[in-house]
Amino acid sequence: MKTRKLIFERIIPFFFMALFTFRLFCYQQTISGYVGLDASPLAHKGLTLICLLAIWFNYAAIFILFMRPFFHFKMVKNLARFACLPIHILNLALALPISQLLCGKTGIHLLSIVYMLEAIIGIIESLYYLIIDRRMKTQVGDIFRMLGIFVLLLIACLPSYLPQFLFGEAKSSIVVKDISFSHRILIYIGIIVPFVLYFTLRNQKEEVIRFSLIFISIATMVGFLVNFNYTNFKEPWTWPFHLCNTAMFIIPICLIFKCKRLFYFTYFINVMGALIAMLMPNYPDSVNLLSMRIFNFWYNHWIAFFMPILLVALKQFKRPTLKEFKWSMIWFFGYFFLVLVLNVVFSAKGHSVDYFFINSDYVADKLGTWAENIFNLSTTIHIAGLELEFHPLYQLVFFLVYVALGLGVWFIYGEFFRIADSHYELHMKLRAIRLHEYAALCASVGKENKMNKSVEAKMELKHFSKKYATSKVYAVKDANLEVHAGEIFGFLGPNGAGKSTIIKSTVGIQPITEGAIEICGYDVATSPVDAKSNIGYVPDHYALYEKLTGREYINYIADIYNVSEADRHTRIEKYIQIFELQGSIDSKIKTYSHGMKQKITIMSALVHNPKVWILDEPLTGLDPTSIYQVKECMKQHAAEGNIVFFSSHLIDIVEKLCGRIAIIKKGQIQCIKTLEEIESSGTTLEQFYLDTIESHEE
């Protein structure tokens, strides 16, 4: 199994990408030179259109299959199984005309063979994922959602030559000149798209966010690299040293390898450089808006502009401090010095380069006479027969101004994020209001089922068994147990013994496989509302709404249980005193320590005064004072005629608190004893526990 996984999820995907890289770089593509479908070397426009779509879709399918071993959420599994397979079959069938479009050669040749091999591997990989995920349930709605997501992914994979190939020359009226209407539209797109992406992704799981961002960054990087081939390796002056070009490589590297220090270079420098370039585009006044050159310019600058900000907004990288700004300037100085030297060296050798516009008056010309005068102060150095021309004062001012702008942009970012935080806080408040309304609705619907004060507290397991769907072995088998009013009952067992399984089934988190569990006479499976209304639950891993204050959260839980204003006020104040939370109960939960959050969880479990209070490892990580406070609550709750049922690894505390205990091992309850019976046998609870566990080892 491990060998198969290694082959199909590591070796073959990397070989797959190696083939794709070879195809991408080792041929000079003629496809980028076609303008309009009439220019196609294929006989039929319909075939050309299908081949273009197949090439476009193929990019997305390749990236999905390459990333699939590293991501496991349902949508990416469906994409790998259902979207990629037909795409690779289509590309295999059209391999010959597609290769003719790509390089202009007809018949079978090396590129067509590589393309066929690439499609065959894609089919094999898709079939592999179709087989291993065959048991995953997929509904019609999942397929439609998958298709919608795939369309969005395709946008990131759009080849830069596709618009000019499909539509030819744009109308002469569609030009980008100064801040004209068409120019503004392109700028607006760069501003609107990140907001759309942010609101689409912000409430998704971390894995979904990370997959989406890595996919976009890789797709746009490959789209940019389509302009290059193997000949560029021999011509370093054609390499993408321009500032905004570096973002195409830095963003995916930082995302995949989590290069934090390098990221802040693109966060402070690339974003600002891209924005300036978008405001002052470097190409002729009147151009074909759909040309490959213009598409590349805007697509690359959009990514360089909004992706770094989006990565911080979606919490892939933390918001920068002065330390991160310092590192960004160190990287910027290294980049600035490198391109300054490359500029003058390549220019001296007769190559037309102007990385970052450091060695030309392109920026100075737009700033006015004073900047031109500074630029004209030049000096020449002769090295190895080369005449290297520098503009030292202009270049120094250029660097310092950029550093100052970077510092200014930092504060602008801070203001934007402050607004975003306020918006998110408002969003969470509105969400809390909706939750309160839902709680009130639940309370009104369940008035007839609310906690029955007349019944006696009782908890009973009747031949309870639990088996998870993916396992052939019972997690708990034929468990029988009765706990009565006034008891503090201890539940002991090693990790994985079944304690949490029984507790989660009792509180309704997990379904029951066999048998029954009753709370105060109500069956948990058939009368869940009645049973749960008598339960207070403290999980081993709490999950709180941390944007709320402690008091707001407890009131929210009280709303769910329809606790009256008088009762909730009395109980909340009582537990505030017990847990010494007077100074923090009205602070946001996100500011609390672990112990304080645990206390809020306990208070919310007790606010409706449940007949059965269930605690799963409640004392883990608490300080001695907090442990004492929780123990006193447990004693008091049991003294009022209720049940306290808790699991713990702290045997000395169980020994002092409990009247009875149960020990579970490998899903089976081994014994149920009173502490008096254990003491009368002449041993401690700890020794009795160890003897019981060891005596039942297989």
**pLDDT tens digits, 540-590:** 887 788 888 899 999 999 988 888 889 989 999 998 998 888 888 988 888
Cβ proximity of 52 and 162 under 8 Å: yes
What is the per-residue pLDDT for 171?
A: 54
- The torsion region of residue 684 among left (phi > 0), alpha (psi -120 to 50) and beta comes to beta
Last residue of a domain, one of 412, 434, 463: 412
E strand or H helix that includes residue 363:
helix 362-367
Token pair of 184 as six digits: 């503004």
Region 442-471: what's the mean pLDDT? 68
Same domain, 140 and 63: yes
Same domain, 263 and 118: no
What is the per-residue pLDDT for 453?
A: 47
Same domain, 164 and 180: no
What is the per-residue pLDDT for 697?
A: 52
The model's pTM is: 0.65
Same domain, 140 and 233: no
Q: Quick one: pLDDT band at residue 433, thresholds 50, 70, 90?
A: low
Question: 415-429, pLDDT tens digit by residue?
Answer: 777 776 766 666 666
72-81, 470-479, 596-605, 655-664: least confident range: 470-479
What is the per-residue pLDDT for 322?
A: 82
Same domain, 180 and 325: yes
User: Does some domain include residue 449?
Assistant: no
Q: Is residue 132 classed exposed, middle or buried when 0-12, 13-18 and 19+ CB atoms within 10 A define those classes?
A: middle
The answer on pLDDT for 122 being more than 90 is yes
E strand or H helix that includes residue 106:
none
Cβ proximity of 259 and 236 under 8 Å: no
What is the per-residue pLDDT for 5?
A: 83
Question: 603-616, pLDDT tens digit by residue?
Answer: 999 999 999 999 98
Angle subtended by helix axes 45-67 and 84-93, to nearest 10: 140
**Residue 338 identity (one-letter amino acid):** L
Same domain, 250 and 109: no
pLDDT greater at residue 453 or residue 8: 8
Same domain, 175 and 164: no
Same domain, 98 and 202: no
Same domain, 131 and 17: yes
Q: Is residue 537 classed exposed, middle or buried when 0-12, 13-18 and 19+ CB atoms within 10 A define those classes?
A: buried
β-strand 612-616 against 476-484: which pairing, if any?
A: unpaired
- Count of structural domains, the chain: 2
What is the per-residue pLDDT for 1?
A: 63
Tokens 């020359």 appear where? Answer: 169
By C-alpha distance, which of 241, 427, 475 is closest to 344?
241
Same domain, 107 and 187: no
What is the per-residue pLDDT for 683?
A: 87
The answer on pLDDT for 457 being more than 70 is yes
Contacts of 558 by beta carbon, 8 Å cutoff, 6+ apart: 568, 607, 608
The answer on pLDDT for 446 being more than 60 is no
What is the per-residue pLDDT for 437?
A: 61
Q: Is residue 229 classed exposed, middle or buried when 0-12, 13-18 and 19+ CB atoms within 10 A define those classes?
A: middle
Question: 278-319, pLDDT tens digit by residue?
Answer: 888 877 656 677 888 888 889 889 999 999 989 988 889 988
Q: What is the spatial distance between Cα 320 and Cα 309, in angstroms, rounded to a whole number?
A: 11
User: Does some domain include residue 267?
Assistant: yes
Q: What is the spatial distance between Cα 91 and Cα 258, in angstroms, rounded to a whole number?
A: 34
Region 158-172: what's the mean pLDDT? 81
Same domain, 192 and 237: yes
Cβ proximity of 460 and 617 under 8 Å: no
Percent of the chain with pLDDT over 70: 92
Mean pLDDT, rounded, of the chain: 86
Q: For the chain, report the end-to-end CA distance as a whole number of angstroms.
A: 28
Residue 227 domain boundaries:
171-412
Same domain, 158 and 188: no
Region 58-77: what's the mean pLDDT? 93
Last residue of a domain, one of 141, 168, 195: 168
Question: 631-668, pLDDT tens digit by residue?
Answer: 889 999 999 999 999 898 888 888 888 989 999 988 89
Q: Quick one: pLDDT band at residue 442, thresholds 50, 70, 90?
A: low
